[in-house]
Structure 1
């Protein structure tokens, strides 16, 4: 590797680990001092860019809470599909969306491979049971579009099943929309070089090695087949009732913000006013007695 490429690689590697650190920092974002953030940003993940990113993330997550309140108040039913190449950033975007929401209202459906019984069912059947009731949001971390992607490329379905999927899915989604379910579909795109870099990082990171599956490795070999399958899928299933939206994912932070901003723009939510909650007075009884908890019940205080 040429010296210039080595420098570029290690700069990229440094940004990757900074991003991983930022993921942990985001979980404690309530301590972030918004007044000390700067506006603007830069093309790389400089200190100013990261401050701007956290400031904007806090803003859009605040809006997501408003959207959640509106969904509950109006009984809206929302489905968001996340598809894309492995390591393109679907999971990171989903994590930022759900981070501050009520998991009973906004939940994630990440279905495993179908079992033997499910393989004999109507193809959409196992997805239907995860659809939202009134006042719920469901985020599908991969969805029924598995048939148009991994199943097609890896040979897990035959040609007849593949063609039947494209005949059925537009009607299936139109039926869901007619029943009152809003569907938003995102495809996370990533470049060949960036995917290779992220796979390499996962391979050397003990905390992320579990993300690198044999199927991921096979996807590298079949990159061009996945490209063709994606192009056919977008062409045949981009319908007015449920459009596809492509999220460029080479920059994780920008991809997250762009996706969440767009999601907010697709739902006609409004701020729901809430009456301030007044805490009731603690009730005391003269005969109340609290029994001591045995010492062996306690977690050892090592910190």
Structure 2
């Protein structure tokens, strides 16, 4: 098969632009939510310039791809914890980190509430099964620190279990680091007013209402209880071996960029040699006839 070079170049350029569509869709969604907030009579905080945001996000995502190659080539094991209040922006940051990475290398662990069986196990046991093998990165969308946060505030654990968690978690994280795991812990911090605005948008946005659970609404009522729990958690689990890093997240776009930039700095890396890919010649067989596809099997071209 022979392709005109200029035609191929145009095709490649169009395909690259198509790959940006997912981020553009999410950006349009942010703009739509800003409009909804304005309609509700709420002030819309001024954010980072959109062009700067896109330019930096795509640059940082390119660096994340290089980090992925380094993790694979050096057989590193990386664990990143994302904690924070409801609607703090953890999921949005995780989405931008994983957006252009290989899901076989970089995966997300977002555990649901423990089952009856899991409640009888060692508390950390269900998290251990999600830890990475060599050449993998795992991003925990909430983690074992549930015990220090929601379980503590909502009464899902007793005082003895709570104290045992803080006795164990420093040793547990030391064991992870000694085993060769690179452990990075982020707390996404938002103000009372910003969480109020984000919850308000979710209530009034039919595309986001699924994100609001009764637990989220109760967490809003218990803002001060969560604040006390967060402060104790940071005080008792911030160690030299596994420190906490605070991401100021009232501005979602800046929070994403700052988090990704910081994450890249936590894992020193070198250059990874990428072998040149040569597309093999397509084989043609004179006796091959392609079977027709029955029209009733084709998805209707509505668009």
User: Shared fold by TM > 0.5?
Assistant: yes
Retained in 2: the 8 A contact 1:98–1:107? Answer: yes
Retained in 2: the 8 A contact 1:67–1:271? Answer: no
- The structural deviation recorded for 1:26 is 5.8
Q: Does 1:24 align with 2:51?
A: no
Retained in 2: the 8 A contact 1:80–1:185? Answer: yes
Instruction: Summarize deviations over 1:89-135 as a string: whole Å, max 9, x none.
Output: 10010000000000110000000000100000010010000000000
CA change 1:138–1:97 in 2 (3 A) is same
CA change 1:130–1:23 in 2 (3 A) is farther
- The structural deviation recorded for 1:143 is 0.2
Retained in 2: the 8 A contact 1:88–1:189? Answer: yes
Instruction: Summarize deviations over 1:177-230 as a string: whole Å, max 9, x none.
Output: 100101000000000011001000000101100011111100111111101111
Aligned length: 266
Q: Which residue of 2 aligns with 1:114?
A: 114
Q: Which residue of 2 aligns with 1:7?
A: none
Q: Which residue of 2 aligns with 1:301?
A: 301
Structural mapping, 1:180-199, within 5 Å: 180-199=180-199
2 CA distance for matches of 1:204 and 1:26? 19
TM-score, reference length from structure 2: 0.85
Q: Which residue of 2 aligns with 1:157?
A: 157
Q: Does 1:45 align with 2:47?
A: yes
- The structural deviation recorded for 1:161 is 0.3
Q: Which residue of 2 aligns with 1:89?
A: 89
1 CA distance for matches of 2:61 and 2:142? 22
- The structural deviation recorded for 1:22 is 6.4
Q: Which residue of 2 aligns with 1:230?
A: 230
Q: Which residue of 2 aligns with 1:177?
A: 177
Q: Unpaired segments of 5 or more residues in structure 2?
A: 1-21, 29-44
SS at structure 1 position matched to 2:285: coil
1 CA distance for matches of 2:245 and 2:236? 14
Q: Which residue of 2 aligns with 1:289?
A: 289
2 CA distance for matches of 1:274 and 1:188? 35
Retained in 1: the 8 A contact 2:47–2:251? Answer: no
2 CA distance for matches of 1:137 and 1:121? 25
Q: Which residue of 2 aligns with 1:126?
A: 126
SS at structure 2 position matched to 1:88: coil
1 CA distance for matches of 2:234 and 2:80? 16
- The structural deviation recorded for 1:271 is 2.5
SS at structure 1 position matched to 2:156: coil
TM-score, reference length from structure 1: 0.85
Q: Which residue of 1 aligns with 2:64?
A: 64
1 CA distance for matches of 2:139 and 2:122? 21
1 CA distance for matches of 2:47 and 2:126? 41
Q: Unpaired segments of 5 or more residues in structure 1?
A: 1-20, 28-42
2 CA distance for matches of 1:123 and 1:175? 15
1 CA distance for matches of 2:58 and 2:301? 33
- The structural deviation recorded for 1:25 is 5.4
- The structural deviation recorded for 1:289 is 1.8
Retained in 2: the 8 A contact 1:147–1:165? Answer: yes
2 CA distance for matches of 1:45 and 1:85? 21
Aligned-pair Cα RMSD in Å: 1.5
Q: Does 1:73 align with 2:73?
A: yes
SS at structure 2 position matched to 1:102: coil
